[in-house]
């Protein structure tokens, strides 16, 4: 535990030196929140949203979803692939601090980035955009399940990508279809039913729907929870199987 704490602190300092990636990961979701949360139409009850307002449903869930995806699909696998490419993890294997501690530090640090972005979404949304305070009793466990369901995908990318460039390519290939079916370009409530149904069975789409339901005080649909659980088991299992420090 002590090694994990120290490595997390070191990795956090290294991340803060490269401010571009973390700032983009945090500021992009906030920028989307503000840009889509200013129009008056999203502050009115919408029948398509079950009588809720856009500012309380698809806009904050979009912000949290983008932050989660940026970290899980890009930051986490690219950094780990870079470490593999440079032989950092292989060198760790020859020290008392094992590579698993480095992996743990990366997971904790990146979870902190997503958490910070989510807190900004809540603070700015409530204080500046008139968003209702979300139901934290449902949001917190759903958020944690999202970490468990999506972070293993990043670990799997790092496991199969031989280079940093390859990891970035895989991340982009996952991002565009995942973002589409998760409702980034068009809210899922306004999508054709078949596209919405496909999105229900994608990890990112399931997380978006689950966090949106939790945000408004509704229990997430069991299908979305099962998809995230399956993602944790399948992606996590494959990542463990294929990961090599070399």
The pLDDT, as a whole number, for residue 19 is 64
In terms of Cβ atoms closer than 10 Å to its own Cβ (0-12, 13-18, 19+), residue 98 is middle
For the stretch 144-198, pLDDT in tens is 999 999 999 999 999 898 789 999 999 999 999 999 999 998 889 889 999 999 9
pTM of the model: 0.92
Q: Tell whether the model's pLDDT for residue 105 goes beyond 90.
A: no
Distances (CA, A) of 89 to 18, 163, 178: 20, 14, 30
> For residues 177 and 182, what is the distance between their CA atoms, to the nearest angstrom?
8
In terms of Cβ atoms closer than 10 Å to its own Cβ (0-12, 13-18, 19+), residue 124 is middle
Q: What is the DSSP letter of 242?
A: H
Contact 158, 243 (CB under 8 A): yes
> For residues 10 and 35, what is the distance between their CA atoms, to the nearest angstrom?
35
């Amino acid at each position: 535990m002590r090694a994990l704490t120290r490595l997390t602190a070191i990795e956090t300092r290294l991340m803060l030196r490269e401010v571009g990636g973390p700032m983009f990961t945090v500021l992009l979701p906030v920028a989307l929140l503000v840009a889509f949360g200013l129009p008056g139409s999203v502050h009115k009850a919408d029948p398509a949203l079950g009588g809720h307002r856009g500012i309380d449903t698809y806009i904050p869930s979009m912000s949290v979803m983008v932050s989660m995806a940026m970290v899980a699909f890009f930051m986490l696998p690219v950094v780990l692939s870079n470490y593999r490419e440079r032989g950092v993890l292989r060198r760790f294997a020859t020290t008392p601090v094992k590579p698993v501690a480095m992996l743990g530090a990366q997971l904790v640090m990146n979870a902190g980035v997503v958490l910070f972005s989510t807190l900004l979404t809540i603070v700015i949304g409530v204080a500046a955009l008139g968003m209702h305070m979300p139901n934290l009793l449902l949001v917190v466990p759903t958020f944690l399940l999202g970490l468990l369901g999506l972070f293993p995908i990043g670990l799997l990318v790092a496991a199969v990508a031989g280079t940093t460039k390859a990891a970035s390519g895989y991340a982009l290939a996952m991002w565009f279809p995942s973002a589409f079916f998760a409702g980034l370009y068009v809210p899922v409530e306004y999508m054709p039913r078949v596209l919405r149904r496909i999105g229900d069975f994608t990890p990112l789409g399931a997380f978006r729907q689950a966090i949106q339901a939790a945000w408004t005080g509704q229990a997430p649909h069991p299908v979305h929870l099962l998809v995230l659980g399956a993602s944790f088991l399948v992606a996590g299992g494959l990542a463990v199987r294929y990961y090599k420090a070399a």
